[in-house]
Amino acid sequence: MKILVSDKIANEGLEKLRNFPEIESVIKTGLSEEELISEIPSYSALVVRSATKVTKKIIEAAENLKVIGRAGAGVDNIDIDAATKHGIVVMNTPGGNAEAAAELAVALMFATARNVAHANISMKAGRWDKKLFAGIELLDKTLGIIGTGFVGGIVARRAGALGMHVIAYDPYISEEKALEIGAELTGLDELLKRADFISIHVPKNKETVGFINEDTFNKMKRGVFFINCARGGIVKEDALLKALDSGRVAAAGIDVYESEPPVSWDLVKHPKVTATPHIGASTREAQINVAVMVMNQIGTYLTKGEIINSVNKPIK
């Protein structure tokens, strides 16, 4: 059995395959769709991060493929419907990079509240613009978390430790579960009205594309600080730009975009935006975690038939 690794993963993940001597790994990164279509037929498994787009055409050419493993949480770069119809299991590694993404969300809260990035740019330009960068404290502010999965739960706990009041919207958890992470469960409209900071932590799917839009922003408290380290496309960027221009949103910390890299740089270049290039999972620890997890899951499935962290139920 062979595994094709089409995106760079940590060496620790490849070493994990030593536990499965019957499996051979082949590393070929940077393949185009056409090259991957030509390469994939002889493989039992495909391992990707976010760079490889596993399209319907690729899946249709993968006549021996049994499983696709995503070293990370988001699977919006994989055609799940096509994989399901062709009997291919799609696995991800939930929680493997949650700490990294959560820490970046908290970092962007600090950065936007205290104008860290803009003050740094000013200093490097040889200016002492101390009076321009007065900010606000996080202490006693209300943080609204939309989505309380692995990442949202960690953000809630970190914010509580900083003395913030945490409220959360998530239709899939109970009040008891919310209390475990130190959050008060609310409706979406109440959260939008009350929160001084809002951080997005929902997956990208058919239900959440465009979830944060002009109507949503109009319901937010004026002067809110807005953070998105989830996925591009969940937030309508034109609506966020309008909210920034009107002062509805005081500042935004953004790590993900509708197109990556962006087609339009208007949001990134906005003076009230602190932007990072989708680095939420870019820590050494997170990359080791997801690589080890995905290789262990695939090896276990191919040798024992045990499915771990599947996001679909194959038809075949």
Task: Tell me the whole-structure pTM to 2 decimals.
Answer: 0.90
Q: Which helix (H) or strand (E) holds 84?
A: helix 80-85
Domains annotated on the chain, with CATH: 2-96+284-304 (3.40.50.720), 98-275 (3.40.50.720)
Residue in 49, 70, 231, 248 annotated catalytic: 231
What would the pLDDT profile of 26-76 be if each residue is shown by its tens digit? 999 999 999 999 999 999 999 999 899 999 999 999 999 999 999 998 898
Q: φ, ψ for residue 251 (rounded to 5)?
A: -165, 155
pLDDT for the residue 315: 79
Comparison of pLDDT for 139 and 206, the residue scoring more: 139
pLDDT for the residue 293: 96
- Asked if pLDDT for residue 82 goes beyond 90, the answer is yes
pLDDT band at 17; cut points 50, 70, 90: confident
Q: Round to whole Å and give the CA distance between 103 and 93.
A: 18
> What mean pLDDT value characterizes the chain?
96
pLDDT for the residue 316: 67
Q: φ, ψ for residue 12 (rounded to 5)?
A: -60, -30
Q: Round to whole Å and give the CA distance between 124 and 118.
A: 10
Contacts of 92 (CB under 8 A, 6+ apart): 69, 70, 72, 73, 74, 75, 294, 309, 311
Contact (Cβ atoms closer than 8 angstroms) between residue 176 and residue 200: no
What would the pLDDT profile of 84-117 be if each residue is shown by its tens digit? 999 999 999 999 999 999 999 999 999 999 999 9
pLDDT for the residue 18: 87
DSSP per position, 28-80: --S--HHHHHHHGGG-SEEEE-SSS-B-HHHHHH-TT--EEEESSS--TTB-H
Overall average pLDDT of the 224-228 stretch? 98
Contact (Cβ atoms closer than 8 angstroms) between residue 292 and residue 12: yes
Residue in 86, 157, 165, 278 annotated catalytic: 278
pLDDT for the residue 75: 92
Q: Round to whole Å and give the CA distance between 2 and 221.
A: 53
- Asked if pLDDT for residue 162 goes beyond 70, the answer is yes
pLDDT for the residue 67: 97
Q: φ, ψ for residue 165 (rounded to 5)?
A: -90, 125
Q: φ, ψ for residue 169 (rounded to 5)?
A: -115, 120
Q: For strand 224-228 and strand 249-254, is the pairing parallel, antiparallel, or unpaired?
A: parallel
Residue 190: active-site member: no
Residue 114: active-site member: no
Residue 278: active-site member: yes
Q: How many CB atoms lie within 10 A of CB 95?
A: 17
The residues facing 224 across adjacent strands are: 249
What would the pLDDT profile of 209-218 be if each residue is shown by its tens digit? 999 999 999 9
Q: Round to whole Å and give the CA distance between 145 and 128.
A: 35
- Asked if pLDDT for residue 12 goes beyond 90, the answer is yes
The crossing angle, in degrees rounded to 10, of helices 284-304 and 98-114 is 150
- Asked if pLDDT for residue 199 goes beyond 70, the answer is yes
